[in-house]
A and B are shown apart, each in its own frame.
Chain A
Amino acid sequence: ETGVTQTPRHLVMGMTNKKSLKCEQHLGHNAMYWYKQSAKKPLELMFVYSLEERVENNSVPSRFSPECPNSSHLFLHLHTLQPEDSALYLCASSQDWRNTGEERYRELFFGEGSRLTVL
């Protein structure tokens, strides 16, 4: 049990489908992240939310749309994806000390990931 739960664990979708990935954290954190993990590449940061406000968007294509309705839940809405978007999508959470200037100490807690295959 990681404290960060991702669903579904596996998803296969066509390029014209619309689907969503869900992440829920039970750790009382107030910052949440989406990372993309592809083979032979560094983990790529996609989005960061702190206190439900998006604070970082790492030039991600608009076919990926995040939503953070509250500090415990994070969604990644997927629409008209490409085969190269197939990857493991990781959600993480942390305690955000952004307002105290101590955010650089934050440690991430990860979910087990959602394996996405785009046909």
Chain B
Amino acid sequence: AQSVSQHNHHVILSEAASLELGCNYSYGGTVNLFWYVQYPGQHLQLLLKYFSGDPLVKGIKGFEAEFIKSKFSFNLRKPSVQWSDTAEYFCAVNALSSGGSYIPTFGRGTSLIVHP
């Protein structure tokens, strides 16, 4: 079964610092990759996604992620974080399940706190 690992569970940064959150997946076939964000008290929402083509994808609010196939990674980056980026970030992979359907599998999330 596929799995998604997010190695940074808690990240604390000051405003204007650079951010990189790691995401690795275990699946050898074709995958589609997502980052979702959950702001405090709000619902999970899509931040960005990768299907094919340019491995560097840009999302909302200045976030970007790079797909490195050889490393099975899809790390999230932002050059300069803001206090409003404080949230929980989830990496997800759509891969073929044992039941024959493509099911989104999520990592455990990374809690980001940005100090003003």
Contact = CB atoms under 8 A, between A and B. Distances in A.
Contact of A45 (B9, B90, B103, B108): B103
B97 A104 contact: no
Interface residues of B, number: 30
Given A40-B108, A104-B32, A106-B94, A48 B42 contact: no
Given A43-B106, A45-B105, A103-B94, 19 more contacts: A40-B108, A41-B108, A42-B4, A42-B106, A42-B108, A43-B108, A43-B109, A50-B101, A90-B44, A92-B44, A98-B101, A103-B102, A104-B30, A106-B94, A108-B36, A108-B44, A108-B46, A110-B36, A110-B45
A68 interface: no
Contact of B32 (A4, A105, A109, A110): A105
Interface of B: 4, 9, 30-32, 34, 36, 42-46, 49, 51, 90, 92, 94-97, 99, 101-109
A103 B101 contact: yes
A112 B42 CA distance: 6
A48 B49 CA distance: 21
Give me the 5 closest cross-chain CB pairs, A-B, nearest first: A43-B106, A110-B44, A104-B102, A42-B108, A103-B102
Nearest to A112: B43
A27 to B, nearest CB: 13
A50 B102 CA distance: 12
Contacts, number: 65
- Interface of A (DSSP majority class): mixed
Nearest to A113: B43
Contacts of B108: 40-43
Nearest to A3: B43
B43 A55 contact: no
Nearest to A90: B44
